[in-house]
Amino acid sequence: MKRRVAREKSLQALYQIDIAKSGAEEAMESVLDGAPTDEYFKKLVMGITENREQLDGMIRDNLENWTLERLANIDRNLLRIAIYEMVHSEDVPVSVAMNEAIEIAKKFGDDQSSSFVNAVLSKVKVKSDS
Protein backbone atom coordinates (compact mmCIF):
# COMPACT_ATOMS: atom_id res chain seq x y z
CA MET A 1 0.00 0.00 0.00
CA LYS A 2 1.39 3.38 -0.95
CA ARG A 3 1.60 5.95 1.82
CA ARG A 4 -1.06 8.15 0.19
CA VAL A 5 -3.46 5.19 0.27
CA ALA A 6 -2.44 4.44 3.86
CA ARG A 7 -3.24 8.04 4.81
CA GLU A 8 -6.62 7.90 3.05
CA LYS A 9 -7.48 4.57 4.70
CA SER A 10 -6.36 6.02 8.05
CA LEU A 11 -8.70 8.96 7.51
CA GLN A 12 -11.56 6.53 6.90
CA ALA A 13 -10.71 4.47 10.00
CA LEU A 14 -10.40 7.58 12.20
CA TYR A 15 -13.74 8.79 10.84
CA GLN A 16 -15.33 5.49 11.90
CA ILE A 17 -13.73 5.72 15.32
CA ASP A 18 -15.21 9.22 15.79
CA ILE A 19 -18.65 8.68 14.26
CA ALA A 20 -19.45 5.04 15.06
CA LYS A 21 -17.36 4.96 18.24
CA SER A 22 -15.60 1.87 16.85
CA GLY A 23 -12.43 0.57 18.38
CA ALA A 24 -9.22 1.10 16.39
CA GLU A 25 -8.81 -2.57 15.45
CA GLU A 26 -12.44 -2.87 14.37
CA ALA A 27 -12.25 0.32 12.30
CA MET A 28 -9.04 -0.82 10.58
CA GLU A 29 -10.55 -4.20 9.71
CA SER A 30 -13.66 -2.53 8.33
CA VAL A 31 -11.69 -0.11 6.16
CA LEU A 32 -9.38 -2.82 4.82
CA ASP A 33 -12.41 -4.99 3.95
CA GLY A 34 -10.41 -8.20 3.83
CA ALA A 35 -7.30 -6.71 2.21
CA PRO A 36 -4.01 -7.37 4.00
CA THR A 37 -3.01 -4.81 6.60
CA ASP A 38 -0.28 -2.29 5.92
CA GLU A 39 2.30 -1.35 8.54
CA TYR A 40 2.19 2.39 7.81
CA PHE A 41 -1.62 2.40 7.92
CA LYS A 42 -1.53 0.57 11.25
CA LYS A 43 1.19 2.91 12.57
CA LEU A 44 -0.92 5.96 11.72
CA VAL A 45 -4.20 4.73 13.20
CA MET A 46 -2.66 3.31 16.36
CA GLY A 47 -0.27 6.25 16.82
CA ILE A 48 -3.02 8.82 16.39
CA THR A 49 -5.33 6.92 18.73
CA GLU A 50 -2.60 6.67 21.39
CA ASN A 51 -1.50 10.32 21.01
CA ARG A 52 -4.93 11.84 20.46
CA GLU A 53 -4.86 14.17 23.47
CA GLN A 54 -1.49 15.63 22.45
CA LEU A 55 -2.58 16.02 18.82
CA ASP A 56 -5.91 17.58 19.74
CA GLY A 57 -4.13 19.99 22.06
CA MET A 58 -1.84 21.08 19.23
CA ILE A 59 -4.85 21.57 16.96
CA ARG A 60 -6.68 23.61 19.64
CA ASP A 61 -3.60 25.79 20.15
CA ASN A 62 -3.60 26.70 16.46
CA LEU A 63 -7.29 27.38 15.84
CA GLU A 64 -8.69 30.89 15.62
CA ASN A 65 -12.40 31.43 16.28
CA TRP A 66 -13.06 27.68 16.13
CA THR A 67 -13.27 24.86 18.59
CA LEU A 68 -12.01 21.37 17.91
CA GLU A 69 -15.54 20.03 18.30
CA ARG A 70 -16.89 22.40 15.62
CA LEU A 71 -14.44 21.20 12.98
CA ALA A 72 -15.69 18.94 10.23
CA ASN A 73 -14.78 15.35 11.06
CA ILE A 74 -12.68 15.05 7.87
CA ASP A 75 -10.72 18.23 8.62
CA ARG A 76 -10.13 17.29 12.26
CA ASN A 77 -8.82 13.84 11.36
CA LEU A 78 -6.66 15.13 8.51
CA LEU A 79 -5.07 17.54 10.95
CA ARG A 80 -4.47 14.68 13.37
CA ILE A 81 -2.80 12.62 10.65
CA ALA A 82 -0.58 15.44 9.43
CA ILE A 83 0.44 16.63 12.89
CA TYR A 84 1.14 13.04 13.95
CA GLU A 85 3.46 12.67 10.96
CA MET A 86 5.06 16.08 11.59
CA VAL A 87 5.79 15.24 15.24
CA HIS A 88 6.21 11.47 15.39
CA SER A 89 7.42 10.28 11.96
CA GLU A 90 11.11 10.95 11.52
CA ASP A 91 11.09 9.60 7.96
CA VAL A 92 8.35 11.98 6.72
CA PRO A 93 9.46 15.55 5.99
CA VAL A 94 7.13 18.19 7.45
CA SER A 95 6.45 19.60 3.99
CA VAL A 96 5.38 16.17 2.73
CA ALA A 97 3.02 15.63 5.69
CA MET A 98 1.48 19.06 5.05
CA ASN A 99 1.16 18.61 1.29
CA GLU A 100 -0.38 15.15 1.63
CA ALA A 101 -3.00 16.45 4.08
CA ILE A 102 -3.86 19.35 1.77
CA GLU A 103 -4.22 17.06 -1.25
CA ILE A 104 -6.37 14.57 0.66
CA ALA A 105 -8.51 17.47 1.92
CA LYS A 106 -9.18 18.43 -1.72
CA LYS A 107 -10.37 14.90 -2.38
CA PHE A 108 -12.42 14.18 0.76
CA GLY A 109 -13.24 17.56 2.29
CA ASP A 110 -15.42 20.45 1.22
CA ASP A 111 -14.41 23.50 -0.82
CA GLN A 112 -12.77 25.18 2.18
CA SER A 113 -11.02 22.14 3.67
CA SER A 114 -7.69 22.37 1.87
CA SER A 115 -7.25 26.07 2.71
CA PHE A 116 -8.26 25.50 6.31
CA VAL A 117 -5.95 22.49 6.75
CA ASN A 118 -3.10 24.43 5.16
CA ALA A 119 -3.62 27.41 7.48
CA VAL A 120 -3.67 25.33 10.67
CA LEU A 121 -0.70 23.18 9.65
CA SER A 122 1.31 26.26 8.68
CA LYS A 123 0.82 27.60 12.23
CA VAL A 124 1.87 24.26 13.71
CA LYS A 125 4.98 24.28 11.51
CA VAL A 126 5.96 27.83 12.48
CA LYS A 127 5.64 27.00 16.18
CA SER A 128 7.65 23.80 15.80
CA ASP A 129 10.36 25.63 13.85
CA SER A 130 10.91 28.15 16.64
Quick: pLDDT tens for 8-46.
Answer: 999 999 999 999 988 999 999 999 998 999 999 999 999
117 assigned to some structural domain:
yes
Range of the domain at 47: 3-122
Largest CA distance in the chain: 44
What is residue 128's predicted lDDT score, i.e. its pLDDT? 73
Average pLDDT over residues 60-78: 95
- Quote the number of domains for the chain: 1
130 assigned to some structural domain:
no
User: Is 0.85 topped by the overall pTM?
Assistant: yes
Q: Which DSSP letter does residue 20 get?
A: S
- For residue 12, the domain's CATH number is 1.10.940.10
CA distance 80 to 85: 9
128 assigned to some structural domain:
no
**% of the chain residues with pLDDT over 70:** 98
